[in-house]
Amino acid sequence: FKKISFENLAMAFQGDFTKNNNNIAFSVTNSPNIDFITSTPKGLVLKKQFHVRKPDFQPSSNPNEFSAAISTDNKMGFLDVQSDKNYVYALYSGKDLQKGVSKAFESNIIYVFNWSGDLLRRFVLDLQITKFCINNNKLYGFVDSVNPQIVYCDLPSF
C-alpha cells in the first residue's frame, strides 16, 4: 500500500472491490477513481490507477482520520464495480447531489477496463440502474423506480 494515497485507503469502506484470480480492482464511490492491484507472493503491487479527481475531504474530530465531505458539489464516482475473467465493468455516476441523492446514485454509463487497468470502452445503457452484475456475457441491472425491475442486455464485443 506504499503507493496508494492515505485518502484512498481511508475510503476502503466507501467503494467496491472485485477480483479475478490474483487481480483486484477497487473503485471509490465518492470520486471517479479506480485502482488495479495484483497480489503476488511478495505482496500487493499497484498496476495502474485511473484517477479523475480526488474526493473532497474534511478533517474529522480525530486528526488522523478523514471522511468524504458529502456536499451538493461533491460528484459521485463509481457506484458499482463487477468483473469477469477478462474485464472490469464500472457503473459511473458523475452526478452531484443537487438534483437529489437518488439521482446521484443511479446511472446509465458503464466504463470497461481490462485487468491491466486500461480503459477500453465506455458505453451507455437505455435505462438508469443502481446496481448490476455480469453473467454469461450479459449485464443484469437493477432499476430503482416506482415499479423496481431487473433489466438485462448483451455485453458488446471488445
The structural domain count of the chain equals 1
53 lies in a domain? yes
CA torsion sign, 115 to 118 to 124 to 127?
positive
Written as nine digits, the cell of 157 is 464485443
- Would you write out the chain's pLDDT as a tens digit for each of its 158 residues? 566 566 555 555 577 889 999 999 998 776 778 999 999 999 999 999 887 766 555 555 666 665 555 566 677 888 999 999 999 999 999 887 777 777 888 999 999 999 999 999 999 999 999 999 999 999 999 998 888 999 999 998 77
75 lies in a domain? yes
Q: Which range marks the domain in which residue 86 is found?
A: 6-154
1 lies in a domain? no
Q: Distance from first CA to last CA of the chain, Å, rounded?
A: 32
Residues forming a β-bridge with 35 = 26, 49
pTM to 2 decimal places: 0.81
Candidates 79, 132, 125, 73; CA nearest to 102 is 79
Q: How far apart are CA 7 and CA 75, in angstroms?
A: 16
Candidates 42, 47, 53, 43; CA nearest to 76 is 53
CB atoms within 10 A of CB 86: 11
Cα 107 to its chain centre, rounded Å, is 12
